């Protein structure tokens, strides 16, 4: 099994009811983490830091699921 990388990112949403960013050029990339626990800690810190803004949301993306070449249903694409 390869690395299980996780991306933590977030930004201001158009409305709190949907996950549409107000400005995709202003998305905050918190970082890429080697495991879910450290990604969750980073997500929680950013979510708590911005708790007063109802339009701010942070997310954890499971990067390892995007490129799992062992699985037939993987989103991996050969660009070569």
Q: Which residues span the domain enclosing 37?
A: 6-66
How much is the mean pLDDT over the chain? 86
Classify burial at 47, counting beta carbons within 10 Å of its beta carbon; exposed 0-12, middle 13-18, buried 19 or more.
middle
Query: Is residue 17 domain-resident?
Result: yes
Max CA pair span of the chain? 45
What pTM value is reported for the model? 0.78
For the chain, the domain total comes to: 1
Per-residue pLDDT at 80 exceeds 50:
no
Query: Is residue 77 domain-resident?
Result: no
DSSP 45: H
Q: What is the CATH number of the domain that holds 23?
A: 3.30.70.2400
Per-residue pLDDT at 79 exceeds 50:
no
Query: Is residue 60 domain-resident?
Result: yes
Query: Is residue 41 domain-resident?
Result: yes
Q: What is the 3-state secondary structure (H, E, C) of 5-48?
A: CEEEEEEEECCCCCCCECCHHHCEEEEEECCHHHHHHHHHHHHH
Query: Is residue 36 domain-resident?
Result: yes
Give the model's confidence band at 3: pLDDT under 50 very low, under 70 low, under 90 confident, else very high. confident
Looking at the chain, the whole-number percentage of residues with pLDDT higher than 70 is: 80
Radius of gyration of the chain measured on its C-alpha atoms = 15
């Amino acid at each position: 099994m390869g690395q299980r990388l996780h991306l933590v990112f977030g930004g201001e949403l158009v409305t709190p009811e949907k996950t549409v960013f107000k400005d995709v050029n202003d998305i905050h990339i918190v970082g890429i983490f080697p495991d879910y626990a450290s990604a969750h800690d980073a997500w929680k810190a950013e979510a708590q830091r911005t708790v007063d803004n109802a339009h701010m949301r942070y997310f954890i993306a499971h990067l390892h699921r995007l490129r799992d070449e062992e699985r037939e249903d993987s989103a991996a694409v050969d660009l070569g």
